[in-house]
Structure 1
Amino acid sequence: MDLSYMTHVSAFEAKTHLSQLLTQVQQGHRITITKHNTPVAILIPADVPKQATQEIIDSLLETRKKHTLSGLPVTELKEEGRR
């Protein structure tokens, strides 16, 4: 069975062709595993979550640079928010 272009495979196919699927994932493909035509898992390259996490951290740091407390202490802001 040629799985080179499949993005959805059944659990049985995944079990039977795991080695081929892992090769595809190493090449950057995302593969959804289904059970009774319902998605249950996604195979993705191992470094994708690390990249996504770093992108989120970088975005938060950029946002932090743009928005400041203008010298106000956090405790004052908390108290103001409680009023």
Structure 2
Amino acid sequence: MASIGLFEAKTHLSELVARAERGEEVVITRHNRPVAKLVPVDGVPADLVERRRAALMRMGSIGREVARNGGPVTREEILEWVHEGRR
């Protein structure tokens, strides 16, 4: 794993991004202390994207349902929705 100073990283950002695209990781330092890491982005699995999209759709419908019914959302309901979103 390469290490590079902040000033040099700013100067050569395009090159560092190209290296990350090739799979390299680069640690950026400030005063010789690591402060950030530039890493390649892995693709997000399609099933995870779909699960997140479905959770967002459910959250939107919940908001509309609460507005229609006029009732407050309970703590238990919120915890249940959070638990569902983590499955």
TM norm structure 2: 0.48
Q: Quick check: which one's helix share is greater?
A: 2
Q: TM-score, normalised by structure 1?
A: 0.50
